[in-house]
Amino acid sequence: MKKTDIIDIVHEKIGGTKKQAEETVDVIFGAITDSLKKRDKVSISDFGIFDAKHRKARKARNPRTGAMVDVPATTVPKFRASRFLKDAVK
């Protein structure tokens, strides 16, 4: 499923124009992104939790050359599915 598919589903459910459905989807994704940038958790009932996790700097091995390289610290988005979502997918 792509973003356009989600827009189509929203458009079918709420009506209005496709542009309004696209703006609605953009606002939702934007709100999730903005919260993660602030390191806030986003918890959506019966769906899951989005969170920003910090990864420490570390050393890793380049598989092609075998040389050790430094991997800088970074923050990455994480998603943890709710029990309801896990059961629905089974």
Tens of pLDDT, residue by residue over 25-72, are 999 999 999 999 999 999 999 999 999 999 999 999 999 999 999 999
Residue 12: pLDDT band by 50, 70, 90 thresholds? very high
| Mean pLDDT confidence for 72-84 | 96
CA 32 – CA 35 distance, rounded (Å): 5
Task: Supply the pLDDT for residue 69.
Answer: 95
Number of folded domains that form the chain: 1
- Quote the pTM value: 0.80
The DSSP call for residue 63 is T
The residue with greater pLDDT, 15 or 68, is 68
Give the domain extent around 11. 3-89
Task: Supply the pLDDT for residue 15.
Answer: 87
CA 62 – CA 76 distance, rounded (Å): 21
- Return the CATH number at 27: 4.10.520.10
Q: Is the dihedral of CA 49, 54, 60, 64 positive or negative?
A: positive
